Amino acid sequence: MPPGEEPRQALSGILNVAKPTGMTSHDVVSLVRRRTRMRRVGHAGTLDPEASGVLLVCLGHATRVSEFLMEGTKRYRATVRFGAVSTTDDAAGVISPSAASVAHLTERQLVAVTRRFLGSIEQVPPSYAAIKIRGQPMYRSARAGRPIQAPPRRVRIDQIDVISWECPDLIIDVVCSRGTYIRALARDLGIAVGTGAYLRSLVRTASGSFSLDDSLSLDEVVRAAVLGYLPRLVYPLDAALSGLPALFLPPEDVATVLRGCTWRGRAGVAGQLARAYAVETGRLIALMTYDASAAGWHPNKVFPEEADDVA
């Protein structure tokens, strides 16, 4: 710690950051870690370097519930360019013009084509992806000239709205599940119309209940950290768990749960998840699972008060 500088307050919670283009998701995490001087910082849901928009940065205990944030529905605004293909399926790759003309394409045709991709579909990930095949990220093999085709994965696309068609660019809004590659969707739209296509630009406009309208720029995060008001901008830890039922524990049971012991204060359903609060303080203390054989709630993640998370 620099001489004369006070230690920062340990935080647990979620920052809704507007990631700019040109940075990796890890770059954003590294910057937040440096500015907050916190040891535990992570993110929920990677954005490619050329993409921008909502990136949820988890601080402290929130790193332990990031999987709940990643499960949330994602919303994107994408610009798909027809008439060319890319080695990476986006603008970062080597672009090759297609021999097929795009002059005949109409907005009505493209709307009809997008409807083929709605619902639960099989999607082949891009060859430049972070997915590991035989322990090796696909993008490393592709960069070495040995591209690997991953097996198709089942994803869900709930909605595709055509915003505009100005040949050769189609702007769409997409609502989809975790794991959906919008780069792959752009590629497959191009295949479907026979002209080729790639993802020209991408903005994540929402992740779960977190929207781009409510996000913070990196400059705002840095300024808040320097001036000491960042805690006021952090969403509480349980914002990641808002879809789960809540349990309220009396004082005599809080310490028991924090020690990892089963709580039998209320009946539940086998395997059910719930968030547990200390009734006196309202503080989230654990994520619990109902164990039918023990007729009680077992804490599978406990969240003691943090006092030592600042580097």
What positions carry a catalytic annotation?
48
CA dihedral over 8, 275, 292, 68, signed as positive or negative: negative
- By the 10 Å C-beta count (0-12 exposed, 13-18 middle, 19+ buried), 212 is classed as middle
**Which residues are within 8 A (CB) of 303 and not within 5 positions of it... i.e. 6 or more apart?**
12, 61, 64, 237, 284, 285, 286, 287
**Which residues are within 8 A (CB) of 231 and not within 5 positions of it... i.e. 6 or more apart?**
9, 11
Distance, CA of 110 to CA of 116 (rounded, Å): 10
Residue 175 β-bridge partners: 75, 159
CA dihedral over 251, 253, 254, 259, signed as positive or negative: positive
Please state, in angstroms and as integers, the Cα–Cα distance from residue 184 to each residue in 124, 128, 255, 296, following that order. 7, 11, 49, 45
Residue 15 β-bridge partners: 57
Distance, CA of 14 to CA of 242 (rounded, Å): 13
Please state, in angstroms and as integers, the Cα–Cα distance from residue 208 to each residue in 102, 135, 242, 303, following that order. 35, 30, 11, 23
Question: Would you give the DSSP letter of residue 28?
Answer: H
